Amino acid sequence: MKKIGDGAEAIIYKKNNTVVKDRVKKSYRLKQIDTKLRKYRTRREAKLLEKLSKFNFTPKLIESDDKSMQINMEFIDGPRLRDVINKNNYQELCTEIGKKLAILHNQDIIHGDLTTSNMIYNKKIFFIDFGLSYESSKIEDKAVDLHLLNQALESKHYKIFKKAFKQILDTYKTKVNQSSEILTRFKKVEMRGRNKKK
């Protein structure tokens, strides 16, 4: 196995045409709590990948093992979206992001860390890293997901982020359930975020 990534809670390996996500022990946590938390997060991520497999824009789950705390999934070859999105192609790519985020939210799935670093481009966009994801039907959680995506765009793509995020929202609101409620709450979340910065 070849190590290809290091996350906050897992090490990522490539094994042939698969990816192995290994949730490592955290020595700063009590052993019993650490085991319980890693097991829960492994099961939850595997469950979400399985649920999303029919939409074909996330890695396909191959197997998961909550004893070894590992998830084995399809390897998607291609660059991170952060490295290929630019002022000439952002409109088409952001339209696709808007559609796919609406699908997630219509399934009551909150990604929790949706950045262009957690998207891979290979003829289309794949969303990856569902380690912080969870199920929720709450308007607030969907609005916060949007807010975090907007912040990520501003941080990584400050030259195009306003136009890029507008393109995402314009598509998202035509596809997502309860769009007016989510966008109204999103504006409130944005205001809270701006007030914190002051």
Q: What is the DSSP letter of 80?
A: B
Is 66 annotated as catalytic?
no
DSSP state string for 163-192? HHHHHHHHHHHHHSTTHHHHHHHHHHHHHH
CB atoms within 10 A of CB 70: 18
Rg of the chain on CA atoms, in Å? 17
Catalytic residue among 66, 77, 108, 113: 113
Alpha helix locations (H) across the chain? 31-52, 90-106, 139-156, 161-175, 179-197
Q: Any idea which residue has 């306003």 for tokens? A: 162
Between helix 139-156 and helix 90-106 the angle, nearest 10°, is 160
Q: What is the DSSP letter of 21?
A: E
Check the CA dihedral 168-173-177-178 and report its sign.
Answer: positive
Q: Do 75 and 20 contact (CB within 8 A), yes or no?
A: no
**What positions carry a catalytic annotation?**
113
